[in-house]
Structure 1
């Protein structure tokens, strides 16, 4: 969700900002309610959940599929991207999440905008920045992850880096690549393997992972170096249960 997106639907600035805050607060309340009920049970196997506030890419706001191409056009520069993200970041931070998740970032320029904003706003909340990938080798823009990670590695405000909303078929090789490029924690939460047609606005048939495949692969991703593992688009709560079960059983 974005403030410009809310404004385009007829909401006021105040209403849009209120909804952003509410999204975080509802997640925190749900987590706290769960923990109040289960956290005090002796022998329970739960870790206290952390709430990560999602900060999606400029391309996701455009809703034209450009989060999977990184092609924002000549009119989009570093300052424009920082202006787009700044107020949303401020509002979300005020709501008090445990983590900030900059996700589905398609190019080096937007990663730089996120890094500079974290510094300019003096954000103290732990943050990660995740790219997407359409070829399993590079960022969607075609820029190498080596180029992209050079920016992230210099930042003390970025605690983890990774990949999200990319095919799970890519994760194993990407984790190995990322281990060579950074000493930061690695985050992976792929989609099901389905491909999004941004212009037609629909998912295309493709070779997808089911829960069984996620259950099989999650321990391998962890053993290769991933520290946070989950699922993105077209995965389900049962997918997350399968991942959690597999990681616990093989720990």
Structure 2
């Protein structure tokens, strides 16, 4: 078995939490077209430290700060292609270094592959309202995927995917050009019932059942209250491991590029066992969650596995 398969076969895997909000706590301005990836230039040491904190809080998997770090994102703003690739390299190296400096003996590094909507930097990952040809989607995603693989990530994290046609194009790309590479696929959903583009979640999950390179499938960056409804659509339609990592329940304002805080305390001790019972086996947090949240998730998992 691969390293990722070994982890997911051994019990519940704890993922990390939000990166952008942790950078904001350190007074790093991420309100720009590159979002948290801008810290790869501004303050890489903080990225490393945040990864370390998540590992020390109980996470077994770090997601690289490459969600919005696409080659075209950087070159559009005047950076050279060489520099763009170096920043992707740096993101992977910082995640690995965070693991090395943590208290963990081992862990996983997932290479974040955000959707085309993230590149648009207008909140389109929360609408799915964009349309490219399959070849155009593949041409967009190929450079970052190839570089993350070359940098030695353990798994690709195809995350916050709101557009079904885009995910099919990426799946075909992996099958055709990267046949030995493993990934997990996490859809973006408004309500736990449909992808943001309107595709029924159950059907989207079922489509990837025969794509063997997708080792886990699920949802992320939706409110915690949507996770259980989503699991009810996911579990009957897949034999794969199921991944869920909600945001903190806030809403994103694409005009200000900021999250609007509307949530109260999240009772992870109550929610996590319900998600496990419904089929989830990779659990973490997304935007606005913190190392404290991941620690509570880890403690809830430990309590259920005693």
Q: Verify same fold: TM over 0.5.
A: yes
2:273 to 203, 219, 234: 219
Q: Which stretch shifts more, 5-14 or 158-167?
A: 5-14
Is structure 2 residue 240 aligned with structure 1 residue 172? no
Aligned to 1:25: 93
3-state DSSP of counterpart to 2:159? strand
1:202 counterpart residue number? 258
Partner Cα separation in structure 1 for residue 261 and residue 151 of structure 2:
38
Distance 2:102 2:202 in 1: 40
Q: 2:166 — aligned with what?
A: 110
2:241 matched residue in structure 1: 185
2:66 aligned residue: none
TM-score (ref. length: structure 2): 0.74
CA-based RMSD: 1.5
Write out aligned runs for 1:1-251 (5 A): 1-34=69-102, 39=105, 48-73=106-131, 76-206=132-262, 208=263, 210=265, 212-251=266-305
Matched residue pairs, number? 237
**Pair 34,124 (structure 1): closer, same or farther in 2 beyond 3 Å:** farther
Q: CA deviation at 1:29?
A: 2.4
Provide the TM-score with structure 1 as the length reference. Answer: 0.89
Structure 2 contact 202–233 (Cα < 8 Å) conserved: no
Cα separation, 2, equivalents of 1:23 and 1:49: 16
Q: Is the 8 A contact 1:111 1:151 kept in 2?
A: no
Hey, what's the Cα distance between the residues in 1 that align with 2:295 and 2:77?
35
Task: Say if 2:185 and 2:214, in contact at 8 Å, map to a contact too.
Answer: yes
1:162 is paired with a residue whose SS is strand
Unpaired runs of 5+ residues, structure 1, are: 40-47
Q: Distance in 2 between matches of 1:225 and 1:150?
A: 15
Higher RCO (CA < 8 A, seq sep 6+): 2
Write the distance in 2 (CA, Å) between the matches of 1:174 and 1:146.
9
Q: 2: distance between equivalents of 1:209 and 1:9?
A: 38
Q: Is the 8 A contact 2:201 2:230 kept in 1?
A: no
Structure 2's unaligned 5+ residue stretches are 1-68
User: Moved runs in structure 1, 4+ residues, more than 6 A?
Assistant: none
Contact 1:146-1:181 at 8 Å conserved across structures: yes
Distance of 1:10 and 1:100 partners within structure 2: 27
8 A Cα contact 2:183 2:214, kept in partner: yes
**Are the structure 2 counterparts of residues 21 and 123 from structure 1 closer, same or farther at C-alpha, using a change threshold of 3 Å?**
farther
